[in-house]
Amino acid sequence: MQSTISNTTHLLEGFIEGLNSRRPAVFNIYSVCQPEHGVADNASFHQSKLAVESRAYPLFKFNPDAGVTFNECVDLSGNPSLEDDWPSYTLHYGETECQQSSVDIPMTFADFALTEGRFRKHFRKAPHDTWNDSMIPLHEYLKLDNGDREERFPYILAVDGKKRLSRVMVSEQLVKATEERRNLWRQLKSLSGDEQVVDIAKVEQQARVDMAQKLTSSLLALASGGGNINDFTQALSAAPNQAASSDTAGAQAPCVDYEPVWIDTPECTSCDECIEINPKIFAYDDHKHAYIVDARAGTFKDIVRAAEKCTAGAIHPGTPFNRNEKDIDKLMQRAAKYN
């Protein structure tokens, strides 16, 4: 198990599973060394949280008893934004209340490094009058090929002591370190099966079935006199478009009995548990009561974990959108008591 003190549930679950196993267990826990890392004495919890969010230290479990393949044995649950290279957060800036503004940016390894004194030599603040089009956000720079990176200068955004938005230039060494952390995260996802794999044959078959059904219904309508030639022509023209769109939607089509997660919003106690698990599924309204943003923006496991940790018992998981999710039968049993 690899975990941190900021993810208490993940940490305790890992200890229990490891100590109950008949196999040798290895526990690798992130520990902040305040003097060496250059952080405040009371920042251990916060710094551990940043280490997870920036992919500097991903949460990880490997349990050989869970199955035979790596896909079955590896568990990355607890990490934020599993489907993305980097989680995102909101950076607020503005010297006065009238100038308050915000911007959503990714939490990269470089953003984490900026908070620790040991990496200070890898950053340089760019004066505002030096900003130019050759500068590029680090997360966008990493998407470029080596040839396209020439004469481009990566930076991350930060806020200075006066709440002014700043560009901080990043050294080449730290760019490579950030890229290495991103690549490691992608490797872990490929081992755990969290990389979405599309069954092309299944998508094509589903597209053919949908196309045949649409054409058949149009022909029957024409034969019975209830339709017209324009409807039939539209069905023909829509068929190729439907086949193309099925590449993304066909692989995870919802089941007939799909019931999305829902919340008794007035019962919410603003405990932050669900938001910390997946802020793309859950969010707060103006009264700081939780509501569902997008039930399909994460895994069913995220939803079940949120229901289990909700102090008000206000989250009702419903049924999974993707029945092919790992350990789905066990998750549905856990969800049943909250529906």
> Over the stretch 286-318, which tens digit does the pLDDT of each residue have?
888 999 988 888 889 889 989 998 988 999 999
Residue 221 pLDDT greater than 50, yes or no: yes
The one-letter code for the residue type at 171 is S
- Local confidence band at 279 (pLDDT 50, 70, 90 cut-offs): confident
What does the domain layout of the chain look like in residue ranges? Answer: 2-75, 88-192, 200-252, 262-336
- pLDDT at residue number 339: 87
Sign of CA dihedral 249, 251, 253, 259: negative
Pick from 59-73, 77-91, 151-165, 186-200: least confident: 186-200
Answer whether residue 275 shows pLDDT above 60.
yes
Q: How confident is the model at residue 250 (pLDDT cuts 50, 70, 90)?
A: very low
Q: How confident is the model at residue 37 (pLDDT cuts 50, 70, 90)?
A: confident
Report the distance separating Cα 88 and Cα 250, nearest Å.
28
pLDDT at 320 over 50: yes
Higher per-residue pLDDT: 321 or 155:
155
Do the beta carbons of residue 79 and residue 6 sit within 8 Å?
Answer: no
CA 206 – CA 244 distance, rounded (Å): 11
- Class level of CATH domain 262-336: alpha beta
Taking only the tens place, the pLDDT of each residue in 86-143 is 999 999 998 777 778 889 999 999 999 999 999 999 999 999 999 999 999 999 999 9
Residue 249 — pLDDT band, cuts 50, 70, 90? very low
Q: What pairing do the DSSP bridges indicate for beta strands 282-284 and 290-292?
A: antiparallel
Mean pLDDT of the chain: 85
Over residues 23-36, mean pLDDT: 92
Per residue, the 3-state secondary structure of 103-153, as one string, reads: EEEECCHHHHHCCCHHHHHHEEEECHHHCCCCEEEHHHHCCCCHHHHCCCE
Residue 54 burial by Cβ neighbours in a 10 Å radius (0-12, 13-18, 19+): buried
Q: For the chain, what percent of residues have pLDDT higher than 70?
A: 81
Q: Is the pLDDT of residue 72 over 90?
A: no
pLDDT of res. 237 = 57
Calculate mean pLDDT across residues 209-237: 59
Instruction: Specify the higher pLDDT residue, 62 or 248.
Output: 62
Residues 302 and 310: their CA atoms lie apart, in Å, by 12
pTM here? 0.69
**212 pLDDT more than 80:** no
Single-letter code of the amino acid located at 214: K
Query: Which pLDDT does position 194 carry in this prediction?
Result: 63
